[in-house]
Amino acid sequence: MKYTLHQLQVFSKVVQAQSITKAAEELFLTQPGVSIQLKNFQDQFDIPLTEVIGRQLYVTDFGKEIAELAQQILNQVEEIDYRTSAFKGRLYGRLKMAVVSTGKYVMPYFLSAFINENPSIELTMDVTNRAAVIKALENNEADFGLVSVLPDKLKIEEELLLENKLFLVGDAESKLEVPAKNIQLLEQLPMIYREEGSATRMVMEKFLEKKKIHLKKRLELTSNEAVKQAVIAGLGYSVMPLIGIRNEVQDGDLKIIPVADFPIRSRWRLIWLKNKKLPPVASAYLEHVRQHKAAIIEKHFSWIETV
């Protein structure tokens, strides 16, 4: 057999993406190019690696075993590249992150110095929902995830980063007044929710369940930005993380409504699989975070404590 590293990379990505089209996009290749490489790789085996049912591509049990071995080979090649660069005094490799959507206001500040100091590192950061972050960790597609709500079943390690505050917010024209900051008033408000599985929604619902409060859901939207714009437009109220609305509050587009027991508090956490052997780049990054997070928080996020 004479399969190439390129074929191993293509096959591994197809297995991860469960799609030739998505694999081509992530590899910056054409779909026909990926299909040809996949066929050339398959031709070297008597047993099918994949099968197509309808329009859906499925990986066979044999294919999954080959994909696991292929990834081990690719990891070893990356280790060779790393050691070569390390011998030259440089840190080399790929750092893979999966970040919940609101985390895009947090994660860049914990990455910028590390990436700038190590120009040979390639960063991939998928900004998505919480469920996809957990799945990326489970499938070993990401070294780290950034979440504010820990997964229930996945065994993980964590590094606490900073506090996450959630407030009740309305549009600039809102005349809402909460007598004695009465939290029960929330039951009368038209509320805009994030989608099921969103960390913001999970924190909010856990808080409301504890307080025995039942809200009226007017809208359900799939991103923090969409919720923000809906509130600004006057479509209703929402519970939103402060980290994502700072500018809108300062500019007067959004108004924080004072309510008893608010803000709701959680913590931003960097998480990774328990017992996972982190690649050298990921280990170096974790050490960087531990050494510098206090300074990063002081420089970029000290304003959170003043609200």
Domain limits, the chain: 5-76, 89-162+267-306, 164-266
Phi, psi of 111 (to 5 degrees): -115, -30
Token couple for 283: 């280990």
Give dist(CA 162, CA 297) in Å, integer. 7
Identify the pLDDT of residue 107. Answer: 94
Identify the pLDDT of residue 151. Answer: 87
Identify the pLDDT of residue 305. Answer: 84
Identify the pLDDT of residue 178. Answer: 65
* Distance (Å) of CA 281 to CA 85, 93, 126, 160: 11, 6, 17, 20
Same fold, 89-162+267-306 and 164-266: yes
Strands 93-100 and 144-147, by their bridges, are parallel
pLDDT below 70 — which residues of the chain? Answer: 1, 82-83, 85-90, 178-181
The overall pTM is greater than 0.75? no
Candidates 1.10.10.10, 3.30.450.70, 3.40.50.300, 2.40.37.10; CATH matching 5-76: 1.10.10.10
CATH number of 164-266: 3.40.190.10
Q: For the chain, how far is it from start to end, CA to CA, in angstroms? A: 63
Contact 191, 218 (CB under 8 A): yes
